[in-house]
Amino acid sequence: MTTTFEFNQAIKQSTNPRTYRADIDGMRAFAVLMVLVFHFSLLPGAAAGFMGVDVFFVISGFLITTILKNQLDIGQFNLVAFYINRVRRLAPALLFVLLAVMCAGTLWLFPADLLELSKQVLAAQLYVANIYYWRNINYFGLGVHDAYLLHTWSLAVEEQFYLFYPVFLLYVHRHMRKHFWMAIVLGFIASFGLNILFVGLKPEAAFYLLPTRAWELLAGALVPFVASKWRRNRAADELVGVLGAALVLAGLLVYRKDFRFPGFCALLPTMGAACLLLSGGAGTAVISRILSWKPIVYIGKISYPLYLVHWPLDAFARQIIRNYSLHWRLGMFALSILMAGFIYHAVENPVRLKRIFAAKQKLILGYATGVAVTLTAFATVQLSGGLPHRFPPDVLRLAGYANDKSPSLSECEFSEQTAADSVSLCRIGTADQKPTWLVYGDSHALATHAVFDEWLKLNGQAGFFIFRHGCPPLNGIQVFHDKNCFAFNEYVTRLVESHTELRDIALVSIWREAIEGLLSTSPDTLLTEQESVQVFADGFSRTLRHLYGLDRRVYVWEPLPGARQYVPRELARAKWEHRAADLEISRSEYLSTYQFFFDALSTNRKWLAATFSPSALLCATGSCAVEHDGIPLYFDNNHITQSSADYWVKILQRVPSPSR
């Protein structure tokens, strides 16, 4: 993030009489507040606060290009000095927050979580957090609120841009000076084209990575060029300013979950921010004057540390505060501002204004020391296995079940490259028996792999196994933002049709996708919950009827009750704090949640051989158990632990095994 302080220094060398643009700090204020309101869930329906990051990108592109172009034009550009200024601007606050987060993690987190946090701290320190989170946020990997530094992905994008962009500008200015702005335009077009291409094919990559995000920074970079051709007058400034504010606001209001982001959607905040920068050049437009109001400007000045501290505060608060209600979230919002003010005045400004570390050598030494401390903390945590000595053995035992999960079994996972022949599938059960079973479903099928494997061995039978994350085993349905779920079920249907020896088919799923509104008629269409439930009902009936018509015996794994929180973590925390864990869901709550499923089950019972009912055993007392004989039954809040396989086999044994 480039500061208006640096902008001022560059502008003083130009012919522009304005030496400070308070409206840019005002834009920063609204951008960071959009992010905070979104992350702290302070306004109902605020679903697109991350668009504030797009505004930050545009501002950074504008400021950095203005600075570099001025320096290049007067022959005062120094690449080494540029990078040192980046260190002076960004490193102090980031180092402070990273070390504070590590200290908090050391005090609070269990070993597995601390090990993960240390990796995230290292990724943030090395400015590769965007790549790390792109690769690691998934079904059995990180959840969003376990990604304590998730927000640093945008800092990584900016720093990667700062690493290459000055070299690019230097080359263009020396060798293609007449085409300076055209080179930036071409870069903008290329990056925007990649964004449009990948937002459909690889949406996570499009969101996190520099090549598909650079166009937003380059949009800001082109503002000085447009301004140089701009015949400024009051009416035009007012019109463009209102247009800019309207575009940013429109982005917030019209965004829906079925929009792929960034894609074309990011044009609204990006072009809006560019218009605001353009209209504020003279400082006379109404929008510019509003943005220049001193309280707003102050929030803009502390926006960088505010952005840094707010997410880890929220992530830790969600774990520590058992009832994280609105008043707590408002409190964390206020605390974020207080901490940001402290970091700005006590850490950021003294270094940026050269009150301390004024000499280049001292700055580099101080930065190197900070990085060394970060690396030492990372190595210490990793080599010690997460500093386990902080907790008593019984607490560590419970916390350790967070990693008690089935192996990834990528060879069993359906993909576009999955071979057409059933011999490529995973074998389960007795090795010397001919497979007569097919077990398939979503990530919950993967979690039950060891259960079905053991059960079939007990019965002297064998089968095949295949799964796809997030994809319920239902013919003809689509899952929002998953183009391969339909293909997965089509593949299984063809497999069953062509292999008559597969007599017994088990469908395993959490079955929650329907009430989460994820089932649809198209991967690009987001339906209402009611419509999604109807898609489920139709698909469930169609699937059972079809398999029954193929003369197959069909078995369905009923929904798991699950738990209120991650089971190993909460059991361990409760043990450590000498209190009861609040995890169990009541049987009535479970039945109410899955009423849609049991309605469909009742309607289609005649097509089924039997169902496997986890709730019959788990919820027999009226509350649905989350542990058995001291072993957590889930490694998160709804996927079963591998160590509890014997317990789940008992559920399967309640159903008579068909004759071979």
Residue 489: pLDDT over 80: yes
Q: Can you tell me which residue has the tokens 């927000």? A: 151
Residue 655: pLDDT over 90: no
Residue 106: pLDDT over 70: yes
CA 80, 86, 89, 94 torsion: positive or negative? negative
Interval 89-105: pLDDT, tens: 999 999 999 999 999 99
Half-sphere exposure (Cβ direction) of 224: Cα atoms closer than 13 Å: 23
The pLDDT of residue 410: 85
The pLDDT of residue 537: 96
Interval 32-43: pLDDT, tens: 999 999 899 888
The pLDDT of residue 108: 94
The pLDDT of residue 3: 60
Interval 567-595: pLDDT, tens: 999 999 999 999 999 899 999 999 999 99
Task: Tell me how far apart the alpha carbons of residues 287 and 30 are, in angstroms, rounded to a whole number.
Answer: 12
Interval 302-324: pLDDT, tens: 999 999 999 999 999 998 888 89
Give residue 385's region: left, alpha or beta (phi > 0; psi -120 to 50). left
Interval 271-314: pLDDT, tens: 999 999 999 887 788 999 999 999 999 999 999 999 999 999 99
Comparing 2-6, 88-92, 465-469, 512-516, the range with the smallest average pLDDT is 2-6
Residue 2: pLDDT over 70: no
Task: Tell me how far apart the alpha carbons of residues 478 and 229 are, in angstroms, rounded to a whole number.
Answer: 50
Report the share of the chain in percent with pLDDT over 90: 79
**Tokens matching residue 421:** 């022949």
Domain ranges (residues) in the chain: 4-389, 410-563+586-631+639-653
Task: Tell me how far apart the alpha carbons of residues 266 and 269 are, in angstroms, rounded to a whole number.
Answer: 6
Q: What is the dihedral of CA 477, 480, 483, 487, to 10 degrees?
A: -20
The pLDDT of residue 231: 79
Q: Is 521 exposed, middle or buried (0-12, 13-18, 19+ CB in 10 A)?
A: middle
Interval 163-214: pLDDT, tens: 999 999 999 999 999 999 999 999 999 999 999 999 888 888 999 999 999 9
Q: What is the dihedral of CA 225, 228, 233, 236, to 10 degrees?
A: -20
134-163: average pLDDT: 85
Residue 15: pLDDT over 50: no
Displacement of CA 293 from its chain's centroid (Å)? 34
Fold of 410-563+586-631+639-653: Rossmann fold (3.40.50)
Interval 427-450: pLDDT, tens: 999 999 999 999 999 999 999 999
Mean pLDDT of the chain: 91
Report the share of the chain in percent with pLDDT over 70: 93
Task: Tell me how far apart the alpha carbons of residues 314 and 511 are, in angstroms, rounded to a whole number.
Answer: 30
Q: Is 218 helix (H, G, I), strand (E, B) or coil?
A: helix
Q: 400 CB contacts (<8 Å, ≥6 apart)?
A: 111, 112, 568
Residue 635: pLDDT over 80: yes
359-365: average pLDDT: 93
3-state secondary structure 44-63: CCCCCCCHHHHHHHHHHHHH
Interval 379-437: pLDDT, tens: 999 999 999 999 999 999 999 999 999 888 888 999 766 544 444 579 999 999 999 99
**Tokens matching residue 69:** 């172009």
The pLDDT of residue 323: 86
357-367: average pLDDT: 93
Q: 362 CB contacts (<8 Å, ≥6 apart)?
A: none
